[in-house]
Chain A
Amino acid sequence: MKKIITGVLFLIASCYLQAQKKVSFSSQNYIGIVTGESDTGPQVQTINGIRFNKWFTGVGAGIDWYYQRSVPLFLFAERGFKIGPTRNIYFSSGVGINFPWSKDVYSDWNWWSVAESSRGFYWNTGFGYKIPVGKNSDAVLLHIGYSNKRFSEKISSSFPCFNPPCPENTETYKYNLRTISFKLGYGF
């Protein structure tokens, strides 16, 4: 994980160093579907940062409903390629932290248990196609990606009993979820 983060930071830093022409704010906003072995769910994402030359780098955040709703927060980098006068494709990657949305899922139905979710690692990668609209750099974005989100859940139970102290038990679930995504977005 350290290598990946270092790599992304290096990529961002080198982009800054290479940015000799104009630097501008850019934003990409997506809605999409994530699907994997266990579930299919929607996702929304926004990535905001700076664009220079063929690079775009920034910070992304979203909501991912796959298996259990969570909020990935990640550093992001993208490299664009021109494949025609008005046609562009781009490759992107992000790495960061996945925050579970709910802190205590179990207590909704199991009053003697308390669940505590913990954040985990998150990364994504993929490629996309840009359809320019308007005169500026505005574009409709089609993106196919692969992502991996992780989190864990610790469930502490104090079983009902007549004679205190009641028996206690702790269970841990670790989730390592892999999905592909198809996103439709708008960038400017």
Chain B
Amino acid sequence: MLPLLLLLSLVLNSCLKDKITHTYTLMSPVYKSKTEVYANIKSNAPQAIESPGKLFLYGNYIFLNDIEKGVHIIDNTNPANPVAKAFINIPGNLDIAVKGNTLYADLYTDLVVIDISNPLSARFEKYIPYVFTPRNYGNGFIADSTRVIVDWLTKDTTVDIQTYNNWNKRDMILMSGTAYNTPQTAGGGGGAPGIAGSMARFSIVNNYMYCVNHWQLRSFDISNALNPTPSASTSIGWEIETIYPFHNKLFIGSQSGMFIYDITNPATPVREGAFTHARACDPVITDGDYAYVTLHDGTPCQGFNNQLDVINVTNVASPSLLRTYTMTHPHGLSKAGNLLFVCDGRDGLKLYDATSPGNLVLKKHLSGIETYDAIAWNNNLIVVAKDGLYQYGYNNSFELIQKSKLSVDR
């Protein structure tokens, strides 16, 4: 039987050719020289929001990161009618922080310093190289370090698997710029000269800026805001993600837990306590007595929990878990008095009564939007969502009233 089949296979060889095609999107980088890129870091005409990322509230302005593209400057004098005023092109940008008239942003591995004394006429001042971790794009692609990737060209490509299934001939199917191992930068927080979301990776406290990369907490003296001076580097373990300042403490979220650093001596942060938990990604905020940490899956952290942990941090040397709440896919969060806002990813925005942190009560649930991060300030809640930037009015009666939306235009 088998010989007969083999014979037939030979005879009918041409009729037995399988045809398997693979259609995918091929991405190739567009480079510019560093000189060109730095020359273009200025206030350009406002652009449509494509992919909203980190958020920073400063005075009447919202600074909104557009992932990998730059920063939108939005005049928020009237939250019911926010007006995009300018866009600063910063390729590879994921995080921002503001102090006084100075905007700090990451440009891939570099920290760039921008004078925004007139936000509508921002000016590049300087850059500090190699502050952040280089990207890992996957598939063996290594970016040209002498130039800067400013865009990606995409091309739909179809190949025949039979004639193409050879690794030496494979094209690069890149996972785009924000995939694995993006630069680990940080943002400012409560008590700082501006307000950052809970997923920030820069933090400014008085005259110091703190940045986290994969394994380090780096501090910069910004007494002279336009000229940050490195002051200390502290190894704090691996896979550090977010930083949230509160009074003289830094609450640092990592894939393996939450670390508390004392910055009484701001130049040299000192570790005071840690709370380890399941392996997942976790933005963290605190009100001083309790820390609120969200864990979610779908990240390089390889965690599979989706939950909100409330941690008692009254004794910072020994934080303890108060209670865990099940969530759908939580990301950023914000707290105003007893109101706790949780961005639960595709499950929308949730508002809890946090009068008793051990017994959070869901008061409002806005579904139909995919939310990532939030800032609650002065009865105005700013929410970064997949489809735009939302603003809501809130009050102690747990009412949420939408004031405006700046839509994404992809």
A interface residue numbers (CB < 8 A to B): 33, 35-38, 40, 67, 112, 144, 146, 158-167, 169-180, 182
Q: Is the CB of A169 within 8 A of B18?
A: no
Alpha-carbon distance between A164 and B344 when the two chains are bound, in angstroms: 12
Among residues of B, the one whose C-beta sits closest to the C-beta of A112 is B298
**Complex interface: chain A residues within 8 A of B393 (CB):** none
Q: Which residue of B lies closest to A181 (CB)?
A: B5
Which listed residue (B21, B175, B177, B241) contacts A174, Cβ 8 A?
Answer: B21
Contacts of B18 in A (CB 8 A): 36-38, 67, 175-178
CA–CA, A131 and B9, complex, Å: 26
From 1 to 27 in chain B, residues with beta carbon under 8 angstroms from any chain A beta carbon are 1, 4-5, 8-9, 12-13, 15-25
Complex CA–CA separation, A171 to B20 (angstroms): 13
- A164 and B331 contact, CB distance less than 8 A: yes
Expressed in whole angstroms, the Cα–Cα distance for A55 and B111 within the complex equals 80
Q: Which residues of B contact A162 (CB under 8 A)?
A: 178, 182, 184, 241, 281, 299-300
Report if A146-B241 is in contact (Cβ < 8 Å); known contacts: A161-B299, A162-B281, A167-B178: no
Quick one: which of A165, A167, A174 contacts B20, CB cutoff 8 A?
A: A174
B139 to chain A, nearest CB (A): 12
**Known A-B contacts A158-B298, A159-B179; A164 and B17 likewise in contact (beta carbons under 8 Å):** no
Contact of B298 among A38, A67, A160, A163 (CB under 8 A): A160
B299 interface neighbour in A36, A160, A165, A182, Cβ under 8 Å: A160
Known: A161-B180, A169-B175, A176-B20. A146 touches B300 (CB 8 A): no
- Cα separation A112 to B300 with both chains bound (whole Å): 10
B94 within 8 A of partner (CB): yes
Give B160-189 interface residues, CB cut-off 8 Å to A: 161-162, 173, 175-180, 182, 184
**Is there contact, CB below 8 Å, between A176 and B179?**
no
**Residues on the A chain within 8 Å of B331, using CB:** 164
Give the total number of A-B pairs whose CB atoms are below 8 A apart: 111
From known contacts A162-B281, A163-B67, A166-B179, infer whether A171 and B12 are also in contact, taking CB-CB under 8 Å.
no
Q: Are the CB atoms of B173 and A169 closer together than 8 Å?
A: yes
Query: When chains A and B are docked, how far (Å) is the Cα of A123 from the Cα of B53?
Result: 51
A163 touches B53 (CB 8 A): yes
Q: B341 near A: Cβ within 8 Å?
A: no
Nearest neighbor of A182 in chain B, beta-carbon distance? B5
Q: Are A163 and B386 in contact (CB under 8 A)?
A: no
Chain A residue nearest to B9 in the complex (CB):
A35
* Residue B113 CB within 8 A of the other chain: no
Shortest A129–chain B CB gap in Å is 14
Contact of A179 with B16 in the complex, beta carbons under 8 Å? yes
Minimum CB distance partner of A67 in chain B? B18
Expressed in whole angstroms, the minimum distance between the Cβ of B386 and any Cβ of chain A is: 5
* CB proximity of B174 to chain A, nearest CB, Å: 9
Indicate whether A180 sits within 8 Å of B12 (C-beta atoms), given known contacts A159-B179, A163-B53: yes
Name which residue of chain B comes closest to A146, CB basis: B15
* CB <8 Å contact, A160 and B4: no
Given contacts A36-B16, A38-B18, A146-B12, contact A172 B23 (CB under 8 A): yes
Shortest Cβ distance from A165 into B: residue: B386
A160 cross-chain contacts in B, Cβ below 8 A: 179-180, 298-301
A172 to B298 alpha-carbon distance, docked (Å)? 22
Given A167-B176, A180-B5, residue A161 in contact with residue B20 (CB < 8 A): no
Are A180 and B16 interface neighbours, CB within 8 A? yes
Closest 3 CB pairs of A and B: A167-B176, A176-B19, A172-B23
A-B pairs with beta carbons under 8 Å apart, 26 shown: A33-B5, A36-B9, A67-B18, A159-B175, A159-B176, A159-B179, A159-B180, A160-B180, A160-B299, A160-B301, A161-B300, A162-B241, A162-B300, A165-B67, A166-B178, A166-B298, A169-B24, A169-B176, A170-B25, A171-B22, A172-B23, A173-B21, A174-B20, A174-B23, A178-B18, A180-B16
**Which residues from chain A contact B20 at a C-beta distance below 8 Å?**
38, 173-177
Tell me the minimal C-beta distance from A127 to chain B in angstroms: 13
Tell me the complex Cα distance, A160–B9, Å.
Answer: 44
Cβ–Cβ < 8 Å partners of A177 in chain B:
18, 20
Interface residues of B in 347-386 (CB under 8 A from A): 370, 372, 386
Q: Does B51 contact A (CB under 8 A)?
A: yes
Is B122 interfacial (CB-CB < 8 Å)?
Answer: no
B91 at the interface (CB under 8 A from A): no
Binary interface profile of B, 304-335, with partner A (CB < 8 Å = 1, else 0)? 00000000000000000000000000010000
- CB proximity of A172 to chain B, nearest CB, Å: 4
Query: Contact at A173–B16, with CB atoms within 8 Å?
Result: no
Whether A165 contacts B372 by the Cβ 8 Å rule is yes
